A and B are shown apart, each in its own frame.
Chain A
Amino acid sequence: MICPFCSLLCDEESFQSVLCGIRANALHAIERVQKARQSPSETFSKDHLAAATMLLQSSDHILITGRIASVQTARSAIGLARRLNATVDCAEGGQAFKNILPIQRNGMHSVSLGEARDHADLFVVIGDDSVLSGYPRLPQMLCSSDLSHRVKKTVLLLGDFSESSQQRWQQAGMDTWFIPCKLENVPAALMQWSKAEKPMGSDLMGRLAQSRYTAVLWVASSLRMPNADLWIERLMQWIAGQNETTRCAGLVLSSLEGSFQQACTWLTGFPGRIQFQQGEPIYDPSLHVYSKWIESADDRTGNSAILLIDETLSESPFLESKHSAGGTIPCVEISAKSSMFPCAIAGAEVAADMFRADQAIVARVDSQEVAQPSSFQRPSAADWLERLCR
């Protein structure tokens, strides 16, 4: 069986948590899902559906948000948003947009994980220990290809990494160098280094200068600084400059948001943060942000409502605001944990698509791989969405 949430990155043999953007979502075995499912199968509640439909149809302002893991649910959510002229933002914590905004301003050079593991001889990892807590077996995965064994790989850790983090990179077989520094200063320091005369030799500077292909890795969620998008933009500019003479690219590890963003982009032309007006998507990445939408609820006239979709069993609440927590904005919740609209786990209980191997998101689970007891016969989030407002 393949891991339903990060098939590209997981260890099929042991089903251990390996590399997944959101560990809480890393359901690496059907058994775990089975344990989580104690209640018998719910049936569609027509009353609940009618109430939710009435709420949404009587609302002047609707936000559709949450953790969408499958293309099917993304399709249904976008379709519903188009019909209801809703705002859509499924970028949890805005992490993905830290990368998207600088790309939209300047472009970028990027490399996929499979290419990097097969090709890069130098990894520049910028951040802190959260890189390995989010992607626990990243070092092993980057060292495990046939081609990569022909060249001794080097990792340069920049930022705030503990001794144990450094050891894990070493144990994977990489030459490991660590330069403690403030993250804020990294792009400027790299720019400065590029202009300096490069010594040759076996020391760090010599190793960097001799690199044939450098993959630069950062995790947006670890950038806890104001204007992180500008930091990323500067880093991307450094990467672009490197390519004038050698090869260098950013390695962006995808998260669960990726499947929604891809589907939203082909359906609407934009990766999210849109508001439909007369069925037409209006993109504003600084305005149509779910947290801003919630915070500005008091400023709007008319009724507001939230449609929250969560296809995961994540423990962390998606919405954290005085309004939603206090219940001042009515919320229809379609989630794996909801008692009103409980949805199946995409990729584990219902088929979902791992539609890009280079940015593995959710693996398709075939029907024969999905356990069939009655407790598993839950509707998918897409099923619920298709029934709403009809």
Chain B
Amino acid sequence: MTIRLENAFCVDGVGKSEIRDVVLEGASIASNGGVLASAKNSKSEVRYDLSGCMLVSGGIDLHTHIGGGKVNVARLLLPELVQNSRSRTQLVDERHQAMAPLSSPVPGTLETGRRYLQMGYTACFEPAVLPANARHAHAEMADTPWLDTGGYLLMGNDRLLLDWIRSGVPQHQINDYVAWMIRAHQCCAVKVVNAGGIDAFKFNQRSLDVDDLHVHFQITPRQILKSLAIAVEEIGLTHPLHVHCSNLGVAGNIASTLATIDAVEGRRLHLTHAQFHCYGKDGPHGYSSAAVVLADRVNSSPNLSIDVGQLQFGQTVTLSGDTMHQFSNRKLARPRKAIFQELECQAGCGVLPFRYRHDQYVHGLLWTIGLELFLRVQDPMRVFLTTDHPNGAPFTAYPHLIRLLMSYDYRMGVFERLHPDVRATSSLPSLRREYTVEEIVKMTRLGPARAVGLADRGDLVPGSLADVVVYQRNDNPEVMFANPKMVFRRGELVYQDGKWMAPSIKSTIVSQVEIDPAMDARLRGIWRSQYGYSTDTIRIRDEELMGLDRQIEPALLR
């Protein structure tokens, strides 16, 4: 089947943005302008006149919590937040508007897939796969239709790793372990959450900064970060070490964040939900923005990338492996309940419902800090659009967020509703930058694709996957990005004018790093004594993953 998309305004951040035709042939883009001899006037060719429309590649969310234990824990904790079709008409206050159009901050898999597709997203990455729950995470993501998915493996609090670092094992042993874990759990990157801090909390240590000693293992987060950054580099993972820094949400935590950057000694590093990690201690409430400090550092360091984790006002739920800091925020939970879990000598989990308010000083400040980061970091290929779904806001806030970035006046309209002390101290009004549509496309398509190592998508270049989205052009970007006219996945029309078609083929993005066969034997005994089960039990084989996804099409990192 050949599909000719005619007269669309094509934007991909690679070529010139212009009106032209794009031809989809099979699962790939065949041409982005010229006429294919094979397709010319072919009877099997389907043509769409897309005059007045914009054509981009499918969106990629490189940090969204859509699978694994903590998401289910959040669902379990908060049944009262679910709005079914009957209650939805009754609950229209700000608290619930933030969730709209989702039925809950953590909806079921079908709804997650539908809403992502409805915004034009075709690939999403779960950024915190606990090794012990990896099978669950993959099964859940397999049930999330229309999306290619992948996972980042949690490793910064793995007790075996911490023990080996303490023992001073050679780096190649750590490299082999990381590679083995990535392959065994079918993930594509390594995630660190509060390096060593989750484990330290299990020993009743209530804080752990980058150069503090873990009370039991007597090692520092700096050592953990460096070891893992080297491992990621040396085993050849495309995505850099994906780091949730120490001191999440703590006033003055910019110092920890800069120390984290320094810990990897110039190696590639991705700082995730950076908005939660760049606070100073100044200002009328002892809490201030340090966005300029972090943005300057990112701008001057090509080894760094960030995603923002922008918050949006209203009800959501925060879920994180960072048990230490989630516990310290327990009294802020709204509704007033929380779940904390300590899991399998590998990590933990803290789930707190949260309600961000316009008129609350800190909440307003965090909102401005996120936007500051977006506006101060110059290269849209190194700052990515995320809300850390659902921690800052549900992912459905993206169109609104895009409007905030593209319109100074609109941004200031919301800013005027914030706490007066925020308005008095924030530098946001001085940032008059307005994102162009090319920049939005880079930060939501091309940039994430390259950051995760997907060379086959993110642009409209011939040979790339035919995952493309058609938006009806509109002066209001929120309207435009909230509801595409058409979405194609692998050349198949899967969404058109508010209607979802049958789910199409799915891929699980996995890294094919090489592993040392000796590691298997080495781990077998350790696993048995430490966890009580064998490595055979935990390993997810390729054929099993394909069975989970049913129509899986393995996509390899290049």
* Residues of A near any B CB (own CB < 8 A): 2, 7-9, 12, 71, 75, 100, 103-115, 117-119, 141, 144-147, 212-213, 243, 246-247, 249, 262-263, 265-271, 278, 280-283, 351, 353-358, 360, 363-364, 366
Contact = CB atoms under 8 A, between A and B. Distances in A.
9 contacts: A107-B333, A107-B339, A114-B344, A115-B345, A118-B345, A213-B204, A249-B342, A271-B76, A364-B135
Given A110-B339, A357-B537, A269 B344 contact: no
B528 to A, nearest CB: 9
B398 interface: no
Given A2-B537, A243-B327, A358-B343, A266 B338 contact: no
A110 to B, nearest CB: 5
Contact of B72 (A110, A265, A280): A265
A280 B341 contact: no
Given A270-B75, A358-B133, A363-B537, A115 B342 contact: yes
B218 to A, nearest CB: 15
B170 interface: no
Contacts of A111: 341-343
Interface in B388-431: none
A13 to B, nearest CB: 10
Contacts of A354: 135, 537
Contact of B532 (A106, A144, A147, A266): A144
B337 interface: yes
B292 interface: no
A104 B202 contact: no
A266 B132 contact: no
A268 B76 CA distance: 11
Contacts of A7: 533, 537
A149 to B, nearest CB: 9
Contacts of B529: 144-146
A8 B107 CA distance: 30
B3 interface: no
Contact of B79 (A243, A270, A355, A358): A270
B136 A355 contact: yes
B69 interface: yes
B508 interface: no
A114 B532 CA distance: 7
Interface string B97-131: 00000011011111000000000000000000011
A117 B85 contact: no
B531 interface: yes
A268 B140 CA distance: 12
Interface in B295-340: 327, 333, 337-340
A18 to B, nearest CB: 10
Contacts of B133: 355-358
Contacts of A271: 76
B282 to A, nearest CB: 30
Nearest to B133: A356
Contacts, number: 171
Interface string B44-88: 000000000000000000000001010110011111101011000
A104 B131 CA distance: 26
Nearest to B528: A12
A266 B75 contact: yes
Contacts of B340: 107-110, 243, 249
B143 interface: yes
Contacts of A114: 132, 343-345, 530-532
Contacts of A281: 84
Nearest to A149: B529
Contact of B337 (A106, A141, A212): A106
Given A8-B533, A115-B345, A147-B530, A353 B135 contact: yes
A283 B84 CA distance: 10
Given A110-B341, A145-B529, 11 more contacts: A2-B536, A103-B339, A107-B333, A107-B337, A107-B340, A112-B344, A144-B532, A247-B202, A266-B71, A355-B135, A357-B537
A269 B108 contact: yes
A213 B77 CA distance: 24
A282 B530 contact: no
Nearest to A111: B342
Contact of A112 (B71, B82, B85, B343): B343
Contact of B76 (A100, A213, A247, A357): A100
Nearest to B141: A266
B349 to A, nearest CB: 9
A115 B344 contact: yes
A213 to B, nearest CB: 7
Residue from A114, A262, A278, A281 whose CB has the most chain B CB atoms within 10 Å: A114
A117 B71 CA distance: 25
B139 interface: yes
A212 B203 contact: yes
B159 interface: yes
Contacts of A265: 72, 75-76
B544 interface: yes
A357 B540 CA distance: 12
B534 interface: yes
A71 B143 CA distance: 11
Contacts of A75: 143
Given A280-B85, A357-B132, A269 B103 contact: yes
A174 to B, nearest CB: 17
A145 B139 contact: no
A351 B135 CA distance: 14
B82 A269 contact: yes
Contacts of B345: 114-115, 118-119
Contacts of A278: 85
A352 to B, nearest CB: 11
Contacts of B327: 243
A356 B337 contact: no
B108 A247 contact: no
A238 B377 CA distance: 47
Contacts of B538: 357
A105 B548 CA distance: 34
A7 B159 CA distance: 21
Nearest to B539: A364
Residue from B136, B143, B351 whose CB has the most chain A CB atoms within 10 Å: B136
A8 B133 CA distance: 13
Shortest Cβ-Cβ A-B pairs, 9 listed: A107-B337, A355-B135, A357-B132, A114-B344, A355-B136, A107-B338, A266-B140, A269-B108, A114-B531
B344 A267 contact: no
B342 A112 contact: yes
A114 B537 CA distance: 14
B84 to A, nearest CB: 5
Contacts of A358: 69, 130, 132-133, 343-344
A105 B76 CA distance: 11
Contacts of B108: 266-269
